[in-house]
Amino acid sequence: MKSLLIKNAVVINCDDRSLNKQDIYIEDGVIREVSFLINREADETVDAGGLLCGPGLVDMHVHMRDPGQTHKEDMHTLSAAAAAGGVTTVLAMPNTAPPVSSVGVLRDILDRAKGSCINILQAACVTENMRGERLSDLEALKIAGAAAFSDDGRPVENARLMLQAIKEAARLNVPVLSHAEDLNIVNGGIINEGEISRRLGVKGIDRASEDSSTAREMALAAACGGSIHICHVSTRGSVSIIRDAKRRGVKITCETAPHYFTLTDEALLSCDADYRMNPPLRTQDDVNAVIRGIADGTIDAIATDHAPHTAQEKADFKTAPNGIIGLETLLPVSYTNLVRAGRIDIFRLFEMLAYNPADILRTRANRFAGGDRADIVLFDPHGEFKVDINRLHGKSVNTAFKNMSFYGAVKMTVCGGNIIYRA
């Protein structure tokens, strides 16, 4: 059996909220021992030299572009980018070409994913081909391996269908992820509606688009006793709606993304489409509300909404598709702007980056217990990570953090006991 010994790692233990310099012995892909001094022979020994050691990150919202748009990304380049970012598990959205609404497409993806260096989970469509007309065969898709149901990329506009989906998913014990957006309110808008959209003379998107859709999903889940997960929360109104729903016992969870607690729509004054995503960057009030939601537990997870596009597609500010990449910047941006900034502690960060998303997806993140799958990230909290688009590992470079520097540089990623990235 293959073995790996990691020595002198400062293990982040979220269960007892401790930081201890310990050794980790891994054999046959799982953790066998974590203690203060391990003297065992191993096939490979790595001296972590006091680097922080956390569970491999679980990014529950990525767009893999495979199948159908592999000129932007494929599962192998996405896996390389994830590994460089300390991400060992991803949930891929189903808005591929064709969409993941049939058992055949789902099985093809999952079969090919077995050769990946990371754990690739796949969401299946709520509605057939994401058309919003009929539910997909959710039970067949669950049996075939679907880890979640979502039409992410567009909302399920028909409330009756969404209610049916929540009920059926509850029976199957599979989460439903909602792209909370009212397309009638969006009505062709491309950035947040407000001072910046007026200055640029472009059509804006009112916050009510996200707020009203979030309220609808909350009401549907409350009515049937099922659960709902809200993707990419960006508005102060949405945060408030979710906070209130949780207080009333509604089974609702949510995620936000690093750009929503880091950047505002003022970045769009550059007319650079790499700052365009959906939902759009909002105002400082919204950023502050998202940070409060992170700090008080309203927001459960941080995900990237990794959405690769080519430079040619992003060249025209007004016609470019929405979306940015984010796998390699997830940990440094989050660590710098949340932990180093004193807004949360390191334990809360890893709850949001690993344990909570794993729980939502009905899977398990490594808790450094004997028998846990050896998915691990080692990073330097004082090490600088400069976002150089020429050194990223994916096919596309449409990052909103280009040329910025952050702390928390990833130095090594281990997945299933294999070292899949070394800085």
Q: Which residues pair with 254 in a beta bridge?
A: 230
Strand segments (E) across 358-404:
376-386
User: Is residue 359 flagged as an active site residue?
Assistant: no
Pairing of strands 376-386, 52-55: antiparallel
CB neighbour class for 312 (10 Å; exposed up to 12, middle 13-18, buried from 19): exposed
Contact 414, 55 (CB under 8 A): no
In 3-state terms the chain splits into helix, strand, coil percentages (rounded to 5) of 35, 25, 40
DSSP for residue 335: I
Pairing of strands 227-230, 176-178: parallel
Q: Whose CA is closest to 57, among 419, 421, 377?
A: 377
Q: Whole-angstrom Cα distance, residue 268 to residue 271? A: 5
For residues 191-223, b (16+ Cβ closer than 10 Å) or e, as one string? bbbbebbeebebebbbbebbbbbbbbbbbbbbe
Task: Catalytic residue, from 274, 305, 372, 380: name it.
Answer: 305
Q: Interhelix angle for 159-172 vs 208-224, to 10°? A: 50
Q: Whole-angstrom Cα distance, residue 372 to residue 139? A: 29
Strand segments (E) across 207-328:
227-230, 251-256, 301-302
Contact 327, 271 (CB under 8 A): no
H/E element, 31: strand 30-35
Q: Interhelix angle for 236-247 vs 208-224, to 10°? A: 20
Q: Would you name the residues annotated as active-site residues?
A: 305
